[in-house]
Each structure stands twice: as structure tokens, then as C-alpha cells.
Amino acid sequence: MTSKTDSNPIPAPVSPLRRVLPPVIAAALVVALGFGLFRSSNGQVGGPLVGKPAPAFTLQTLNGGTLSLASLKGRPVVLNFWASWCVPCRDEAPVLRDLSEKQAANGLAVVGVVFSDKNIKAVNAFVQEYALAYPSLLDPKLNTSIAYGVSGVPETFFIDKAGIVRGYDQGGLTRERLTAGLSKIGVVY
Amino acid sequence: MGAAYGLWLMACRHGLSSSVFSGLLGLFHRPRATSRTLLVALLLLSPASLAQTLSQPSPNPSGGISAGGAPVQALSPAQEARAQAIGRTIRCPVCQGLPITESPTDLSQSMLRELREQVGAGQDADQITTYFAARYGDTVLLDPPRRGANLLLWLGPLAAALLGGGWLLSSVRSRGKLAPAQLIENQADELDDVPDEYLAQVKAEVKDSERSRASLPTQPQPAHGRTP
């Protein structure tokens, strides 16, 4: 009470590191989460299969024939997983139809695979509505979809002439995204 | 601390990792549409990103039927138990933290059928989880592999607990090193924070009461016993 009565005690000096560290950690966490959240917002992401050989498949076409990936070897392939109940698939269908019509002469193969859609009537109606001339394959057991790691539609794989997956897109192709994917398999569009 | 870490690991195993931490893991792995949706929903940072989520098939309410109605391969009871155990570590890609063994979606049922076929073909757990992770990314695993960037997920809480524990211990020890006299002095310092005016008032009143007591005339003490 005598010598201790100091109305303005001098606070102990806080080291600059202790002052700066908490906000730096918080900022780093926010940046990390933000980066993880927005890095794939344009749909062009590196899927696990990119750089690996495309899984082989032999599936039935809508008109009763069969088509295998092996039969397309030597040609660049755009493999599109779609369903009649999928709204973004409807948006990208005209883009893929245009691609198949314009690039068929250059050897590009566009192939559709119907994903988790048991309504064959609706699938056929979809093909007719968008006048899809390229083959659409049925994958009733989802074997091929699982082999490609498809969890939702649309998803598109760009496979080069050597049968290696070079590009991947999810969430509906636009012309720009299609062009970007095609450039990875050496197709100018 | 041990219990908290145990809870953390349990949460990791039961799907929390695929939701809360997929953002962090997204730095190193391809974020799947579902995990991105969960992260967005959790952080409420960008509702617009939800619109970009892929269309996904609705769950099949009947459940338990393999896609395409294909007969499910018969496994021995031991193989079936092994398939179920492995299946519990594979996340349904279109669900929120559900293993494929508990999801009724066509995709999960097909994945389970594929898994059972691989078990029937003699593949071990590592080969099967590697097969699915190679196609869907590590986010399909409910039990994240303890390697690479995932070590952050497994060791982060442990490191935080150790650092926090060390800090706590050192601060407790530094307090314990103070001599008792010093502690009393510190407490006296705290008492000094009481505003002086109140203390002065109390002291003044005590002094007044002592003075008034001293100034009172001394009363003759009554004699014991009866008055005559």
C-alpha cells in the first residue's frame, strides 16, 4: 500500500512474435480454405485419372450394337457421361453435337455414356430432342462409370490418340471449356 | 487430451474428415463435387458455389438391389464380413459422410457389388481401397491414408495438444517457482488495485469510531451481587 500504489503500472513488454503469430495463423487458415474452395470453380480440374490410361470398356449402344474404347484407338476421344434427368447435360448437348458434326472428319470421336438412368424412353427422347448423332452407350451396372470415378453428371474425359486421359471437366461444358479440354488432346476447335 | 484425440480420430473415421477437412485436403487432392458442397455448406462462404454442384441421381428408396438387377456374387461368410468391413471405409460419393454399405443409392450399391467381386477375386483391402482412390481420389476414403498431406490431418491435433500441453505445463511451472512470500506480495499488489478513496474512507471511519470510543467517559461497573 505504500510503495506499491502506482496508478499506472507499466505493462510487461509483449514480444512482437506473440502479437503477430495469432493473426498470421488465422490468415493462413482462411487463405488455405479459400484456395481449396475456389480452385476448381471453373470446372477444369485435374481428376485422379488425368495422365493415366483410360479404363477400357465395351458397352451396348442405344440401338443394340456394341462399342469398345479399344476400337477407337488411334483417335482422340471425348467421353461424356450424361443422363436424361440432368439439367446441365441439356445445356451442353448442343455443344457436343456441334463438336461431333464438325470434328468427325478430323478423326475425333465423341462418345456418350448414360449414367444412372433407367428410363430408356427418356434417354431416347433426349437423343432425339438434341439430334445427337454420336453413339450413346448404356452402362446399367455402372461398371464403366465407377471405372472412370464418375459420381455425378455431366462429367467429360478428354482421351488422346494413345488412350491416355489428358483432360477432365465436370459441371457442364461451355464452348470455351470444351476448347480448353480439346487443346489437351491436340484438337483445335 | 487423449480422450479428445480419440474423439477426433473417431470423427475422422466416421466421415467428419470428408466434410470439415475436405477444404484443407482440397489443397492437395482434387475436390469432388460432394465434398465441395459440404465445405461450402459448412463455411457458408459462397452460396453461389452450390449452384455449380453436379446433378446427382436421387437415392433409390428400394435399396439393396444392385444396379441393372444383376445377381450379386455369392461370397463365403468370412469374405462377406471382409467386404462389409472394407465397404465401411469407402465413402458414398454422392452422400454426406455415408459409407457405401449404408447408402441406398445406385452408385453405392454398384460400388459395393464391384468391391464384393474384388473380394471374391482375392484382392486384399489395400488393393481395393487403392482401386477406388485411384478413380475417385482420396476423398472417397473414410479412413484417410496416413501419408503425404493427410499426415497433417492425423498429426495436427496431436501436435496442437502437445504444444498446448507444453505451454500449459511451462506456465504452471513458472508460477510454482515463485516463493510463497512473493505470491503473497503479488496478492497484496492485487489488493492495491482497490480504489484509494474507498480505502481512505474506511480508514477514516475506523479512526473516527476509535476516537469516539476513547472519548466516552468510563462508566462505573455495577457491583456484583444484590443491591441493598
Per-residue pLDDT tens over the stretch B61-113:
333 333 444 455 688 999 999 999 999 999 999 998 899 999 999 999 999 99
The CB density around residue A169, as the number of other CB atoms within 10 Å, is: 24
Per-residue pLDDT tens over the stretch A135-157:
999 999 999 999 999 999 999 99
Reported as a pLDDT band with limits 50, 70 and 90, residue B49 is very low
* CA-based nearest distance A105→chain B, Å: 32
Q: What is the pLDDT of residue B194?
A: 63
The CB density around residue B221, as the number of other CB atoms within 10 Å, is: 6
Reported as a pLDDT band with limits 50, 70 and 90, residue B181 is low
Query: Residue B55: beta bridge partners?
Result: A153
Q: Which residue of A has its CA nearest to B95?
A: A151
Tell me whether residue A37 is exposed, middle or buried, using C-beta atoms within 10 angstroms of its C-beta: 0 to 12, 13 to 18, 19 or more. buried
Q: What is the pLDDT of residue A4?
A: 46
Query: Which of A5-19, A42-56, A172-186 has the least mean pLDDT?
Result: A5-19
**Phi, psi values for residue A78, rounded to 5°:** -110, 110
Rounded to the nearest integer, the mean pLDDT of chain A is 89
C-alpha cell, B1: 487430451
Distances (CA, A) of B29 to B23, B32, B33, B171: 10, 9, 12, 40
Q: Select the residue from B34, B65, B107, B163 to test the A interface by mutation, using most A Cβ atoms within 10 A.
A: B107
Per-residue pLDDT tens over the stretch B134-167:
999 988 999 877 877 778 878 888 999 999 999 9
- Helix/strand/coil for A41: coil
* CA-based nearest distance B63→chain A, Å: 14
* A83 contact B CB<8A: yes
Q: Select the residue from B27, B30, B103 to test the A interface by mutation, using most A Cβ atoms within 10 A.
A: B30
Task: Give B-chain residues touching A39 at CB under 8 angstroms.
Answer: 26, 31
Q: What is the pLDDT of residue B72?
A: 59
User: Taking CB atoms and an 8 Å limit, are B106 and A154 in contact across chains?
Assistant: no
Quickly list DSSP for B3-66.
Answer: HHHHHHHHHHHTTHHHHHSHHHHTTTSPPPHHHHHHHHHHHTS-HHHHTTSPB-PPP-SS-S--
From the CA atom positions of chain A, what is the Rg in Å? 26
> Nearest Cα to B90, choosing from B102, B104, B72, B80?
B102
Q: What is the ipTM of this complex?
A: 0.79
Q: Which of A5, A46, A153 sits opposite B30 (nearest CB)?
A: A46
Task: Give B-chain residues touching A173 at CB under 8 angstroms.
Answer: none
In total, the C-beta contacts within 8 angstroms joining chain A to chain B are: 136
Q: Which of B40, B107, B188 sits opposite A151 (nearest CB)?
A: B107
Distances (CA, A) of B191 to A92, A160, B162, B184, B227: 76, 80, 36, 10, 54
- For residue B133, pLDDT beyond 80: yes
Q: What is the pLDDT of residue A148?
A: 97
Q: What is the pLDDT of residue A84?
A: 96
Tell me whether residue B100 is exposed, middle or buried, using C-beta atoms within 10 angstroms of its C-beta: 0 to 12, 13 to 18, 19 or more. buried
C-alpha cell, A64: 443394340
Q: Which residues contact A6 (CB under 8 A, 6 or more apart)?
A: B192
* Helix locations, chain B, DSSP H: 2-13, 16-20, 22-25, 33-43, 47-50, 77-87, 106-120, 125-136, 150-176, 180-191, 196-215
* B40 contact A CB<8A: yes
Distances (CA, A) of B145 to A148, B2, B25, B139, B201: 21, 21, 12, 10, 70
Q: What angle, 0 to 180 degrees and rounded to 10, lies between the N-to-C axes of helices A87-103 and A120-129?
A: 50
- Helix/strand/coil for A30: helix
Phi-psi region of B199 (alpha: psi -120 to 50; beta: other; left: phi over 0): alpha
